[in-house]
Amino acid sequence: MTAQIIKGAEIAKEIRAELKTKVDELKEKGITPGLFIIRVGEDPASVSYVTAKTKASEELGIMSETLVYPEDTKEDVILAKIEELNKDPKWNGMLVQLPLPKHIDEDKVLNLIDPRKDVDGFHPVNVGKLLIGDPYFMPCTPHGVQELLVRSGNDPSGKHVVVCGRSNIVGKPVMAILIQKKSGANATVTMVHTGTKNMSEITKQADIIIAAMGKAKAITADMVKDGVVVIDVGVNQVGTAADGKRILVGDTDFEAIKEKAKAITPVPGGVGPMTVTMLMMNTVRAAEMQAASKK
């Protein structure tokens, strides 16, 4: 058996085409979705992520603006800007790129964002609404995982999904998404983590494994059953190639597992392209919601 390779870039392209149609329809009604991004400092990864988000916005016709503050900017300045953006109807969605410098309280910053503009889906209100199955927005990477499963023909409904990792960014929210009694979910979900004993006994029962542990090749071929579907969220640098490019691997042993799996995502090129696309989806949804509330 050689696994189906679930190509995130192709699925993301399909979703973006759908979003472009929605953006065009909104513009015909005089509504241009707007996304405001705040970045503090020059962290290379943050610069790269924000650049990707800006590029995606431009391609879809979403109005975007990025405000870059120096590394030593005081917390009060960031908070004041967020309060201003909360009241500005021009911007449907906003996000503060993480991580922030250590002198700025991330929780205080994220909690100040209006939940109806929180297109990252990190506000406690959105986290709570996600758990009860009625979110304004779903967090981008977990939502991307769900879309990859459904659109690749691997619907999780009725399946045993094992989530490896309990982070607030991926593990917990993807569990909350997939246990809902809804289309594209309705799974039986088990979570394993660093405190789990005999982890392989549980992962071998999985019809679907979602690996988000932050450790290179943590899930090996002897830990999965034949015919499993694997979504690998991990991105780990394990070296540098001769041309200077980073050598990246996921949280699963891709080469070995693909010989047993029914389907698997590669790293890079799997989950990664979906995250920015889901951010665009949330921004368009924010514009639709806010337009509807004015009627």
Please tell me the number of Cα atoms within 13 Å of 131 on its side-chain side. Answer: 9
Question: In b/e form, how buried is each residue of 172-202, taking b as 16+ CB within 10 angstroms?
Answer: bbbbbbbbbeeebbebebbbbeeeeeebeeb
* pLDDT band at 241; cut points 50, 70, 90: confident
The bridge status of strand 236-240 relative to strand 246-249 is antiparallel
Measure the CA–CA gap between 156 and 208, rounded to whole angstroms: 8
Q: How high is the pLDDT of residue 202? A: 98
Token pair 């015919």 is at which residue? 227
Token pair 């472009």 is at which residue? 20
Measure the CA–CA gap between 115 and 65, rounded to whole angstroms: 19
Considering Cα of 140, then 142, then 146, then 149, what sign does the dihedral take? positive
CB atoms within 10 A of CB 239: 8
3-state secondary structure 108-172: HHHHHCCHHHECCCCCHHHHHHHHCCCCCCCCHHHHHHHHHHHHCCCCCCCCEEEEECCCCCCHH
Q: How high is the pLDDT of residue 65? A: 97
Q: How high is the pLDDT of residue 295? A: 65
Per-residue pLDDT at 240 exceeds 90: no
Percent of the chain topping pLDDT 70: 99
Share the mean pLDDT of the chain.
95
Per-residue pLDDT at 1 exceeds 70: no
Tell me whether residue 58 is exposed, middle or buried, using C-beta atoms within 10 angstroms of its C-beta: 0 to 12, 13 to 18, 19 or more: exposed
List of residues 6+ apart from 208 with CB closer than 8 A: 149, 154, 156, 159, 160, 161, 162, 187, 228, 229, 230, 231
Per-residue pLDDT at 89 exceeds 80: yes
Angle at 184 between CA 178 and CA 189, to 5 degrees: 25
Measure the CA–CA gap between 252 and 224, rounded to whole angstroms: 10
Q: What is the mean pLDDT of residues 203-226?
A: 97
Q: What is the pLDDT of residues 203-214, one digit of tens each?
A: 999 999 999 999
Q: What is the pLDDT of residues 105-116, one digit of tens each?
A: 999 999 999 999
* pLDDT band at 32; cut points 50, 70, 90: very high
Q: What is the mean pLDDT of residues 130-137?
A: 95
Residue-range domains of the chain with CATH: 30-114 (3.40.50.10860), 140-272 (3.40.50.720)
Q: What is the mean pLDDT of residues 228-235?
A: 96
List of residues 6+ apart from 276 with CB closer than 8 A: 12, 49, 52, 53, 56, 140
Catalytic positions are: 53, 97, 120
**Chain centre distance of CA 14:** 17
* pLDDT band at 247; cut points 50, 70, 90: confident
Q: What is the mean pLDDT of residues 122-145?
A: 96
Per-residue pLDDT at 293 exceeds 90: no
